[in-house]
Amino acid sequence: MVDNSAFLFAGQGSQYVGMGKDLYDSFPESRAIFDKADKILGISLSEMCFAGAPDVLKLTVNSQPAILATTIAAYAAFKVKFPDVTPLFMAGLSLGEYSALIAAGSLTFEDGIRLIRRRAEIMDDASRRFPGKMAAVLDLDLNKVKEICLKSGAEIANLNAPGQIVISGKAEAVKEASKLCNEAGAKRVIELEVSGGFHSSLMFPASVELKSFLQNIAIGQAVVPVVSNYTAALEYRPAQIRENLVYQMYSSVRWEESIRLLVSQGVTKFYEFGPGKVLKGLMRRIEPSAQVVSIEKKEDILNLQN
């Protein structure tokens, strides 16, 4: 049954210790996902998710595969209970785009978890070689933020929602831009707890390495179109998906545009898969009338009436 829904997938920063444990304990399909991830990566990713140290879990090389595994574990359990629910489209925030591609049949989970671990390692290495920062700018006009970025050398990393723009780049550039945004009347400027200047030109060398690694990853046609973070357009073609994932590393994530596209295509209901409710919060700013159903814990699946 295809209804007027879209599936959304969580991005980096939504991790927390304990995530996925009740899914693992309650659903064989979820347990299989975590067990596969542990075996493929050669580490106890599940233990890191369920009972690890927060400082270890938040490291890019750990948080990215951990969020991917938790997200797909939730998705796998949902699909068993609701096998006939087929969305019109899928989308994921940055890292979440990989989860969306797995759910859309473009990537296998096995290749997806290998790919995201390598992506995280590449990004982490680039962060050491080219140190950077990110900051969220709240309630300041986009054109004003663009003007400040031009002046300071910072770059726009995420266009998340009205009143929420993330800037990125060299540490000194982001620091200067943050100061100018505050002076220009931003409600708040919050430095993000990330290890580098993601989605900025600092990540271009990393994108070259990712492109090389992607050559050994099979990407198939998406069964359900996925919105690209890079283009904010629907995509299902393997070659274009591959190319967009490379561009995504150093380009702006156009999340607000992506959601507005889905709404314009008739989507009225969204299912958010993965830890946290970040995407539900952004939706309140983008399209308050849209219904968002969070699929994160055992109760979310058992109590869901579709």
CA distance 304 to 78: 9
Query: In this model, does residue 45 exceed pLDDT 90?
Result: yes
pLDDT at 1 over 60: no
Q: What are the pLDDT digits (tens) for 244-268?
A: 999 999 999 999 999 999 999 999 9
Instruction: Please provide the CATH number assigned to the domain covering 132-191.
Output: 3.30.70.250
Predicted pLDDT of residue 306: 64
The full set of domain ranges for the chain reads 5-128+201-302, 132-191
* Beta bridge mates, 292: 270
Q: How high is the pLDDT of residue 3?
A: 72
d(CA 258, CA 159): 10
**What token pair was written down for 262?**
């889905």
Distance, in Å, from the CA atom of 192 to the CA atom of 57, rounded to the nearest integer, reads: 16
Please give the CATH superfamily to which domain 5-128+201-302 belongs. Malonyl-Coenzyme A Acyl Carrier Protein, domain 2 (3.40.366.10)
pLDDT band at 144 (very low <50, low <70, confident <90, very high): very high
pTM of the predicted protein model: 0.96
| pLDDT at residue number 193 | 82
Mean pLDDT computed over every residue of the chain: 96
**Average pLDDT value for residue range 57-77:** 96
| pLDDT given at position 138 | 97
Going by the DSSP 8-state scheme, the letter that residue 86 receives in this structure is: B
State residue 160's pLDDT score. Answer: 96
C-alpha span between 211 and 247 (Å, rounded): 9
CA distance to 96, 117, 126, per residue, from 45 (Å): 18, 11, 23
- Partner residues linked to 8 by β-bridges: 91, 272
* Active-site amino acid positions: 94, 199
pLDDT tens-digit profile of 100-123? 999 999 999 999 999 999 999 999
For residues 266 and 90, give the distance between their C-alpha atoms in angstroms, rounded to a whole number.
13
The pLDDT-based confidence of 239 (bands split at 50, 70, 90) is: very high
Instruction: Describe the strand order of the beta sheet including 164-170 as a list of residue ranges.
Output: 155-161, 164-170, 132-138, 188-191
Mean pLDDT value of segment 173-182: 98
pLDDT value at position 273?
Answer: 98
